[in-house]
Amino acid sequence: MRIALGVEYDGSRFCGWQTQKNGERTVQEVVERALSSVADQDVQVFAAGRTDTGVHAIQQVIHFDTIAVRPMHGWVMGANIKLPKDVSILWAKEVPQAFHARFSARARTYRYLILNRRSRPALMARRATWIHRPLDAQLMHRSGQALLGKQDFTSYRTVHCQAKSPIRTLHSLSVERHDDFLVMEVHADGFLHHMVRNIAGVLIAVGSGDRPPDWAAEVLAHRDRRLGGMTAAADGLYFYRVDYDPQYKIPAIPQDSGLLWNL
């Protein structure tokens, strides 16, 4: 059978999602090890998106195939016993063979969390990006609207990005302030390597007054990463949601997903 899982993780102490040849600690590695133990056979998982070093997930969606028969709650509880405390399986459900965590995805959503105050964080260290200079969230929001639609995001991806095409469709982008926190949410058909962090870097420069409001559009038009400004830190980036055809009945984001996620 094919089983889909929802996975939550704190990426602070992981070298990203994907298993590394050099043996670095990754989320995929620990999840596959835990599921293999429950299945009593090797399990290979496929994810909706690959997150980088230090990036978190509110609900990553993965799938795997197995001949092992377990109740769905058995996969959840059994894996969680084996997993480290910074990774948790949220749910499990059987899905059709046509379902693929990555290729069946219609769109993905990331959220970028900024703590905007003069004093550095303690409780939110490695879970939010700290910017001590005042940021204008409304200005950042307006600037980001220039990125909507089907665009060439060459300027917003790392030079090491392996995607064949830089064309992506950005469905929505918002920046909102909630007291000392700013939340940037981006929703697109797909993302390029470092795309969200590079967008955040440009908008932070706009919000702090270092760059004019039309700079996000100018960077896009250049189609040159060297003119794209800084890449924002991974600390504040969260893989938030994946959209699938309703027929698959993928569970919604849990309502207790933590600070600000229900705003």
Write out the catalytic residue numbers: 52
3-state SS assignment for residue 107: strand
For residues 85 and 34, is the Cβ–Cβ distance under 8 A? no
Cα–Cα dist 21/120, whole Å: 35
Cα–Cα dist 112/173, whole Å: 11
Q: What DSSP designation does 230 have?
A: P
Distance of alpha carbon 148 from the chain centroid: 19
**CA-CA-CA-CA torsion sign (82, 88, 94, 100):** negative
Read off the amino acid at residue 186.
V
Provide the 10 A C-beta neighbour count for residue 29: 17
Provide the 10 A C-beta neighbour count for residue 214: 13
Cα–Cα dist 45/77, whole Å: 17
Q: Going by C-beta distance under 8 Å and a sequence separation of 6 or more, which residues neighbour residue 164?
A: none
For residues 80 and 35, is the Cβ–Cβ distance under 8 A? no
Question: Helices 195-207 and 215-222: crossing angle, nearest 10°?
Answer: 140
Provide the 10 A C-beta neighbour count for residue 162: 8
